[in-house]
Structure 1
Amino acid sequence: MTLNKLIIATTAAMALSSQVMAEELKFANFTPPFHTINASVIEKLNTDLSAATNGALTVRGYHGGELGAGPAEQYVRVLQGAADMAWGLPGYTSSQFGKTMISELPGVIPEGTPGYEALWRAYSKHFSNEFPGVKPLALWASEPNIFIMRNKIIRTPADLAGLKVRVAGSTAAEVASALGATPVQMPISQVYNAMQTGLIDGVITGASTLRDFKLDEVADALTIGAPLGRLAFYTVLNGRVYDGLSADKRAAIDAASGLGLSKSAEDAWLQTAAKALEVARADRANTILELSAAEKAAFTAAVSGVVQSYVKSVDGAATLAAMKGQ
């Protein structure tokens, strides 16, 4: 056999070997591929894992609910093996994430404070048992929640009386109720139609949704500065899948996940929110209300009992302290 033929044969054998050993992890994404999650988490994981393993471990995103419809079913989808990875909101299944949801309460993660750091500080000791059967790869928080409304300008808690406001989970529902609104829980993917048809008057969520879910098309009034908390998010990997990987691939996942991946996600959420607000302010059809200190105080007083009440209900005093770094 000539040297050239030997090289060709060896290269072919190596390629075949790498194909056999290569593994692709399926990432379930209930949102379109333009959503912030794609570049900040899905593509980043693929790039980092592929680089660390010379292409032996990759991640492929399945967008728009391709692996199964329903944002609230993301966690179960991973447990059942329909997907290897997924992202979601603890608020969609609040009863499972009682202590995790403390992070969403007003004032727990102040504006300008990294939410992902607060979540990871408390995770191992205080709420890891709320994530059975999976390996959390990222935990992060959104930008501060605001009021995103249609035909309703919110300046005081009294302005919310009789209004139906969508919330993501149980903690936001308590906040909405304390402010006099009627909370309506539904996935963010349903909010556009619900606002457009008048099923709800508005939503408590982050400004990033103006862009990621095109709420700018159906909303015309934003109120910024009320103490409405933030949203929490997770990305998880099926625990059996992780345990079944080779040691070097598990090490690659360990290195590509945790604080670094969580920071990537949270930073991206903040950037998307900032851009969305910039666009909203430039649209003369919108009313953008930034509350004064006195106006904020009225909302703060209205929700003052919510944090203490919720934390007590889940025996979460130690979790709250850990999140706050105390």
Structure 2
Amino acid sequence: MMNKMLSGAVAAALTVSFVGEAGATEWNVSVWGKRRAFTEHVEKLAELVSEKTGGAFTINVSYGGLSKPKENLDGISIGAFEMAQFCAGYHADKNRAITVLELPFLGVNTLAEEVAVSNAVYAHPAAQQEMAQWNARLLMTSPMPQYNLVGTGAPRDELAEFEGMRVRATGGLGAAFSAVGGVPTSVPATEAYNAMESGVVDTVAFAQHAHLSFGTINKADWWTANLNPGTVNCPVVVNIDAYEALSDDERAALDSSVDEAIAHYLTNYGALLKKWDDVLAEKGVEKVMISDAVLEEFRAKVAGPISAKWVEDMTAQGLPGQELLDLVHATLKAARGS
């Protein structure tokens, strides 16, 4: 792994970057696109931290000005900025443990359940140790609902119609579509509209907010309302050296703001989901319901085999694959039981 620890020079430069005059602390966070439901917890976190510290600790949110989406973890590793958001599927080899959360058909039904399983996996030593190799500390997740497809032309509502389908899908979702004959590509979200417009892809798999934010809904003739094959996991991480250099009060302000920031995110996203049918009607997009028989056929072909292959691959690489998968299922059970 590259950059297992910062050089003394880089660490010194990093210290200077977030400790300004009069002891004020200023962090930069690298995200992408524009402000949207996917980034509301980051914005709320920045607001809360500033309030709790009387403006002495500020977090500046940069939408693409600091790094490309697929390079955010690299930027964290060298201390180019103190906080960043990334998606596991962008570089699965760098964050193998958390890719368990991107396996298809895990059975996660709500955003609250997504938060629960993410928190459990993020707390696992295997995930924390792997992130530490990139000088990154897992701070919070960016919970997203199950992904669904938008596409042009006739709706693809039979499994046979996925054969040869060029789909923008990353991680476990890409593997799921590949298993039924699809051709996945992992272009960054910011490039999905152009890929759709130019015909590089026939369909795009996103959560609702992303279809809106990146414009793919504007190119769509249809949207699958209930395919629900899985989702993408996108953590927010902080540079370990920057985190450890915070004062006790600053660290407490940051850590204590996470749950409130997530709660704000869930409320905001819930409002978007409630108006989604209105969005489809406004844009003239057909809402396609996949039959139960097709869903069961899809699930049978991909869920078990892909999860088993993931466990096998992780175990071969020295990671506790089965333990992580079991943790997800146990956390789901506990969340529903409560």
Matched ranges for 1:145-164 at <5 A? 145-164=147-166
Note closer, same or farther for the CA distance 1:264–1:108 as it changes in structure 2 (3 Å cut). farther
Rounded to whole Å, the distance in 2 between the matches of 1:266 and 1:175 is 27
Rounded to whole Å, the distance in 2 between the matches of 1:223 and 1:165 is 13
Rounded to whole Å, the distance in 2 between the matches of 1:274 and 1:208 is 12
Q: Runs of 5+ in structure 2 lacking a partner?
A: 1-19, 316-320, 332-338
Aligned AA (2:279): V
Q: What's the CA shift for 1:269?
A: 4.2
Note closer, same or farther for the CA distance 1:262–1:179 as it changes in structure 2 (3 Å cut). farther
Q: Runs of 5+ in structure 1 lacking a partner?
A: 1-17
Note closer, same or farther for the CA distance 1:274–1:131 as it changes in structure 2 (3 Å cut). farther
* Superimposed CA distance per residue, residues 7-52 of structure 1 (whole angstroms, 9 cap, x where no aligned partner): xxxxxxxxxxx961222211112212x32244x2232112211121
| Mean CA deviation greater in 241-250 or 19-28 | 19-28
Instruction: Pick the aligned partner of 2:170 from 161, 168, 191.
Output: 168
Q: What's the CA shift for 1:274?
A: 4.5
Q: Which residue of 2 aligns with 1:10?
A: none
Query: Paired residues, what number?
Result: 302
Q: Which residue of 1 aligns with 2:335?
A: none
Matched ranges for 1:161-200 at <5 A? 161-169=163-171, 171-200=172-201
Q: Which residue of 1 aligns with 2:41?
A: 41
1:86 aligns with 2:84: yes
Aligned AA (2:101): S
Q: Normalising to structure 1: TM-score of the pair? A: 0.86
Note closer, same or farther for the CA distance 1:271–1:175 as it changes in structure 2 (3 Å cut). farther
Note closer, same or farther for the CA distance 1:148–1:272 as it changes in structure 2 (3 Å cut). same
Checking the alignment, whether the CA contact within 8 Å between 1:140 and 1:263 is kept in structure 2 is: no
Q: Which residue of 2 aligns with 1:210?
A: 211
Rounded to whole Å, the distance in 2 between the matches of 1:159 and 1:67 is 40
Q: Secondary structure at the match of 1:26?
A: strand
Rounded to whole Å, the distance in 1 between the matches of 2:97 and 2:46 is 31
Q: Secondary structure at the match of 1:28?
A: strand
Checking the alignment, whether the CA contact within 8 Å between 1:226 and 1:299 is kept in structure 2 is: no
Q: Which residue of 2 aligns with 1:124?
A: 123
Checking the alignment, whether the CA contact within 8 Å between 2:97 and 2:324 is kept in structure 1 is: yes
Q: What's the CA shift for 1:194?
A: 0.5
Q: Which residue of 1 aligns with 2:279?
A: 279
Q: What's the CA shift for 1:127?
A: 1.6
Rounded to whole Å, the distance in 2 between the matches of 1:79 and 1:263 is 28
Rounded to whole Å, the distance in 2 between the matches of 1:268 and 1:179 is 35
Rounded to whole Å, the distance in 2 between the matches of 1:308 and 1:278 is 39
Q: Secondary structure at the match of 1:47?
A: helix
Q: Which residue of 1 aligns with 2:309?
A: 309
Q: What's the CA shift for 1:189?
A: 0.8
Aligned AA (1:310): W
Larger radius of gyration: 1
Note closer, same or farther for the CA distance 1:114–1:219 as it changes in structure 2 (3 Å cut). same
Note closer, same or farther for the CA distance 1:312–1:273 as it changes in structure 2 (3 Å cut). farther
Q: Which residue of 1 aligns with 2:240?
A: 239
Rounded to whole Å, the distance in 2 between the matches of 1:187 and 1:222 is 20
Rounded to whole Å, the distance in 2 between the matches of 1:208 and 1:174 is 23
Rounded to whole Å, the distance in 1 between the matches of 2:283 and 2:292 is 25
Checking the alignment, whether the CA contact within 8 Å between 1:72 and 1:92 is kept in structure 2 is: yes
RMSD: 2.1
Aligned AA (2:97): K
Note closer, same or farther for the CA distance 1:140–1:321 as it changes in structure 2 (3 Å cut). farther
Aligned AA (1:214): G
Rounded to whole Å, the distance in 2 between the matches of 1:321 and 1:271 is 32
Q: What's the CA shift for 1:260?
A: 4.1
Q: Normalising to structure 2: TM-score of the pair? A: 0.83
Q: Secondary structure at the match of 2:237?
A: strand
Q: What's the CA shift for 1:255?
A: 0.9
* Fraction of identical pairs, as percent: 23
Rounded to whole Å, the distance in 2 between the matches of 1:227 and 1:144 is 5
Note closer, same or farther for the CA distance 1:104–1:281 as it changes in structure 2 (3 Å cut). farther
